[in-house]
């Protein structure tokens, strides 16, 4: 559920403040931290409950995924310049 609500805030952050590229970098960092915690949460390095660590890393991964979603979709649309590449779109 979180990864479907966060794209709203990710899009606002990208359009108003950071831009798409910086937003992707920021939320990719959050996603990477969640993955890192998930990998090392299964070991005995953390003294807290494994259930707490699992919920924390899943929330971080969901936030990272949700923040990346709106920006990556817009990057795909930026690949085409309509006046110059109109003929390529008609062939599809």
Mind listing the pLDDT tens digit for each residue in 28-47? 999 999 999 898 887 877 77
Q: How confident is the model at residue 72 (pLDDT cuts 50, 70, 90)?
A: confident
Number of helices and strands in the chain (H, E)? 4, 0
Number of domains in the chain: 1
Whole-angstrom Cα distance, residue 56 to residue 37? Answer: 8
Whole-angstrom Cα distance, residue 58 to residue 34? Answer: 7
Q: Which of 67, 71, 74, 72 lies closest to 7 in space, CA to CA?
A: 67
pTM for the complete prediction?
0.78
Q: Can you give the residue range of the structural domain that contains 77?
A: 1-90
């Amino acid at each position: 559920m979180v990864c479907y609500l966060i794209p709203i805030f990710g899009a606002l952050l990208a359009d108003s403040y950071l831009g798409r590229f910086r937003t992707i970098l920021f939320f990719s960092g959050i996603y990477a931290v969640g993955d890192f915690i998930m990998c090392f949460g299964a070991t005995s390095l953390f003294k807290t409950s494994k259930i707490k660590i699992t919920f924390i890393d899943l929330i971080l991964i969901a936030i990272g995924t949700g923040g990346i979603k709106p920006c990556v979709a817009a990057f795909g649309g930026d690949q085409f310049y309509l006046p110059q590449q109109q003929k390529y779109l008609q062939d599809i």
